[in-house]
Amino acid sequence: MRFINVSFIKSASKKAEFILDDLSQVAIVGRSNVGKSSLINMLTNNSKMAKTSSTPGRTRLVNYFNVNNQFYLVDLPGYGYAKASKGMTSAWDSVMNDYFVDNERLKVVLLLLDSRHKPTDLDRQMVDYLAGLEIPVLLVLTKIDKISRSELNLNISSISKDLRFSRERIVSTSVLKKLGAVELTKALEEFINV
């Protein structure tokens, strides 16, 4: 599978604005500043497809991208932004819960983790939350260009054990070096009929 014809469709701030047509959905979620927008830009080979920022917490809406008229790539707001107000955090929780619960079109979630760091409590909560909803997850490790291969292998083992996650469901990526896009799209084929 290749991301050939990709277009931004809309942003949604509440359940009533979610897209509910027949196309499957692949959601991207992760901590603020983990590289969600950059990954979308790498997959689509378009540096301007998703807006990137050095400031964490910029994605506050549910953003839909149509991929090849076959499925939606859905960029969800990042979690764990320390400067977010309690009201914003509560709104985030509500929107995310509305998106995930009973979403029959959602086929898999790409949960992004920074390859340099151990999973946080929020990462563990997200894994447990999605498991509770029986939503398949692929762990996508970002920024692997910033560590050595031996460090990466150690971190993959640690993350796999920490999150009780199969190594076969972990994909390593680097936007800077354009690594992992082929492996990730191949992994997605298991969940998306293309």
The pLDDT value given to residue 80:
65
Residue 90 pLDDT: 60
Using an 8 Å Cβ cutoff, are 171 and 180 in contact? yes
What CA–CA distance (Å, rounded) separates 33 from 159? 19
pLDDT in 10s for each residue of the chain, 194 residues: 889 999 999 999 999 999 999 999 999 999 888 999 999 999 998 888 987 754 444 457 899 999 999 999 999 988 865 444 454 456 667 888 999 999 999 999 999 999 999 999 999 999 999 999 999 999 999 999 999 999 999 999 999 999 999 999 999 999 999 999 999 999 999 998 75
**CB contact at 8 A, 57 and 83:** yes
Q: H or E stretch including 38?
A: helix 36-44
Where do the domains of the chain lie?
Answer: 6-188
pLDDT value, residue 100: 94
Q: What is the pTM of this model?
A: 0.90
Are 106 and 71 a contacting pair, CB within 8 Å?
Answer: no
CATH topology of domain 6-188: Rossmann fold (3.40.50)
The pLDDT of residue 56: 45
- Nearest residue to 175 via CA among 30, 75, 45, 68: 45
How would you class 112 by CB atoms within 10 Å of its CB: exposed for 0-12, middle for 13-18, buried for 19 or more?
buried
